[in-house]
């Protein structure tokens, strides 16, 4: 007897920050969870799921993951985009969760099994001043991390991406409207090479050192920064320039050997294609929660493998532990997987989303629970209702808008 989806519900909860979770239930009594969190646009993703996807799922065969993916993608007519693809991601994840539970197997076993024993991860270290930044990096190394992203303040500015004065960095800030931050690229470019070269001097040659420029440079500025950081031997320099114009990376590539990573804001293979086939990047950063789920992410990573581009999925606090677990399943079973971002979660998020994935000594493992291995404590989730929160916006010193 073929199983059927009998319920599709959206759970909005905010244990430390907002998350959008899809819960599918089947006639055979199985439950699958998916993540559709889009930082600062959670209500849009929840509505797309609740109002335009959930009614279409009732009665479908949960085993037909690919057919459902194609139905929701091609049937939307208005294809791609962060909200549509986050909703499709959530359905895809929930269906893989159900398929694993049906088979009594962890999802990575359904993806071809493990190609490695554990998944390398990196985390964030940030502080306004260099001494405190070095302390933060040392603390993350003491936690076992073999790879650390370093972000510092910039003299003359009051706030900057990736650094919170009181430590502990959460991108979105609660409030009815985004906060506005100032940005000065020249001050950043004068300062950050000295910071990262000093960090390399402090940590020695082995620690994998990453930095996120967060979409703020022109190709020429990115090329200059990449070249100035070559002595620091970065693992990667991320989001050097807004990637709508993928051709811009060709200029950067011509002037520096610093590895480049892009893609956390991408939501389909079409966003990634030219960067990968032109070998303009070394790491593709698409997240399982934003780029069509496990099914589509595997297509992107397979294309990347042809060009020796490695997978490095986005893993900030604003993808939920559900999709984080899914990402680690993909990491364990994908040959060209490079590294998994693990920014970490509020303790409440770990409680609301009990999970079998685990971290030890700088590496992750998805665990062997059937499905994705992440559940939702709905009674506890209900205690943390959604609160409006937005990513900041950034304006240059002359008041003009720039990328945040
Ligand atoms: C960052 C993110 O982790 C990263 O690489 O770019 O913190 C990003 O700013 C947020 O996830 C946006 O929601
Ligand atoms: Mg980033």
Supply the DSSP string of 187-251, one letter for each residue: HHHHHHHHHHHHHHHHH-SSSEEEEE-TT---HHHHHHHHHHTGGG--SEEE--S-TTSTTHHHH
> Atom of ligand 1 at shortest distance to CA of 317?
11
Tokens of 92: 């895809």
Section 99-113 average pLDDT: 98
**Distance (Å, rounded) from C-alpha 248 to C-alpha 235?**
21
Q: Enter the DSSP assignment of 62.
A: T
Residue 1 has pLDDT above 70, yes or no: no
CA distance 268 to 271: 6
Is pLDDT of 291 > 90?
Answer: yes
Same domain, 270 and 146: yes
pLDDT tens, residue by residue, 14-60:
999 999 999 999 999 999 999 999 999 999 999 999 999 999 999 99
Position 393 scores a pLDDT of 96
Asked if 288 and 313 count as a contact pair (C-beta separation under 8 A), the reply is: yes
145-176: string of b/e by CB count within 10 Å (b at 16+)? Answer: bbbbbbbbbbeebebbbbbbeeeebbbbbeee
Does pLDDT of 165 surpass 70?
A: no
Of 104, 128, 155, the domain-final residue: 104
Pocket lining: 171 vs ligand 1, CB cutoff 6 Å: yes
In terms of domains, do 50 and 125 share one?
Answer: no
pLDDT over 70 at 168, yes or no: no
Number of CB atoms found within 10 A of residue 285's CB = 25
Q: Which of 171, 312, 315 to mutate to test the pocket of ligand 1 (most atoms within 8 A of CB)?
A: 171
End-to-end CA distance of the chain: 52
The per-residue pLDDT for range 322-374, each reduced to its tens digit, is 999 999 999 999 999 999 999 999 999 999 999 999 999 999 999 999 999 99
Same domain (yes/no): 115, 99: no
Q: How far is CA 131 from the centre of its chain?
A: 28
CATH number at residue 75: 3.30.390.10
- Active site (annotated) includes residue 296: no
Strands of the sheet with 31-35, listed across from one edge: 5-13, 19-26, 31-35
Q: Are residues 99 and 123 in the same domain?
A: no
85 — pLDDT class (breaks 50, 70, 90) = very high
* pLDDT score recorded for residue 243: 86
The total domain count for the chain is: 2
Closest protein CA for atom 13 of ligand 1: 39
Ligand 1 mutation target, pool 121, 164, 314, most atoms within 8 A of CB:
314
Q: Whose CA is nearest to atom 10 of ligand 1?
A: 171
> Within this chain, do residues 45 and 116 fall inside the same structural domain, yes or no?
no
* Last residue of one domain, picked from the residues 60, 84, 104: 104
151 lines ligand 1 (CB under 6 A): no
Residue 200 confidence class, pLDDT cut points 50, 70, 90? very high
| Residues ≥6 apart with Cβ < 8 Å to 224 | 189, 255
Q: Assign residue 301 the CATH number of its domain.
A: 3.20.20.120
Same domain (yes/no): 124, 92: no
HSE-CB at 34 with a 13 A cutoff on CA atoms is 36
Active site residue 211: no
Query: Are 392 and 319 found together in one domain?
Result: yes
pTM confidence score:
0.97
pLDDT, mean over the chain? 97
Name which of 68, 57, 3 is nearest 29 in CA terms: 3
320 and 338 both lie in a single domain: yes
Under the banding of pLDDT at 50, 70 and 90, the label for residue 170 is: confident
**Residue 167, pLDDT score:** 56
Same-domain status, 75 and 149? no
Q: Are 215 and 362 part of one and the same domain?
A: yes
Are 95 and 124 contained in the same domain?
no
Whether residues 94 and 155 fall in one domain: no
Containing structural domain, residue 36: 5-104
* pLDDT tens column, 378-402: 999 999 999 999 999 999 999 999 9
* 313 close to ligand 1 (CB < 6 Angstrom): no
Domain boundary among 70, 104, 138: 104
Where are the extended beta strands (E) located within 309-388? 310-311, 340-341, 358-360, 363-365
Ligand 2 geometric centre to CA of 273 (Å): 19
Neighbouring residues of 334: CB distance < 8 A, sequence distance ≥ 6: 111, 115, 298, 301, 311
Whether 264 lines ligand 1, by a CB cut-off of 6 Å, is: yes
Residue located nearest, by CA, to atom 3 of ligand 1: 316
């Amino acid at each position: 007897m073929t199983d059927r989806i009998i319920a599709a519900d959206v759970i909005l909860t905010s244990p430390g920050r907002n998350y959008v979770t899809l819960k599918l239930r089947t006639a055979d009594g199985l439950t699958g969870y998916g993540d559709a969190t889009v930082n600062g646009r959670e209500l849009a993703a929840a509505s797309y799921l609740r109002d335009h996807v959930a009614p279409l799922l009732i009665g479908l065969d949960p085993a037909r993951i690919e057919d459902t993916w194609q139905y929701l993608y091609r049937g939307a007519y208005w294809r791609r985009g962060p909200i549509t693809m986050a909703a499709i991601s959530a359905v895809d994840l929930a269906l893989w969760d159900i398929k694993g539970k049906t088979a009594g197997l962890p999802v990575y076993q359904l993806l071809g099994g493990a190609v490695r024993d554990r998944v390398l991860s990196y985390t964030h270290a940030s502080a306004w001043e260099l001494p405190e930044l070095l302390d933060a990096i040392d603390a993350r190394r003491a936690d076992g991390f073999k790879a650390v992203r370093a972000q510092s303040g910039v003299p003359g500015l009051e706030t900057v991406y990736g650094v919170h004065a009181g430590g502990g960095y959460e991108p979105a800030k609660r409030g009815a409207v985004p906060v506005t931050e100032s940005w000065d690229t020249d001050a950043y470019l004068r300062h950050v090479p000295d910071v990262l070269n000093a960090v390399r001097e402090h940590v020695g040659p082995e620690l994998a050192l990453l930095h996120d420029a967060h979409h703020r440079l022109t190709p020429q500025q990115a090329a200059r920064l990449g070249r100035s950081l070559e002595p620091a031997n970065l693992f990667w320099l991320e989001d050097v320039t807004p990637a709508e114009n993928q051709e811009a990376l060709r200029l950067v590539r011509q002037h520096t050997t610093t590895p480049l990573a892009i893609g956390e804001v991408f939501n389909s293979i079409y966003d990634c294609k030219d960067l990968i086939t032109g070998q303009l990047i070394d790491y593709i950063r698409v997240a399982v929660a934003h780029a069509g789920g496990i099914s589509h992410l595997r297509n992107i990573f397979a294309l990347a493998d042809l060009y020796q581009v490695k997978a490095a999925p986005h893993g900030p606090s604003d993808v939920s532990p559900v999709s984080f677990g899914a990402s680690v399943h993909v990491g364990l079973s994908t040959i060209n997987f490079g590294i998994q971002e693990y920014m970490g979660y509020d303790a409440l998020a770990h409680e609301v989303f009990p999970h079998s994935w685990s971290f030890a000594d700088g590496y992750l493992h998805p665990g062997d629970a059937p499905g994705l291995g992440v559940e939702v404590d709905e009674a506890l989730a209900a205690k943390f209702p959604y609160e409006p929160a937005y990513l900041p916006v950034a304006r240059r010193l002359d008041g003009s808008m720039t990328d945040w």
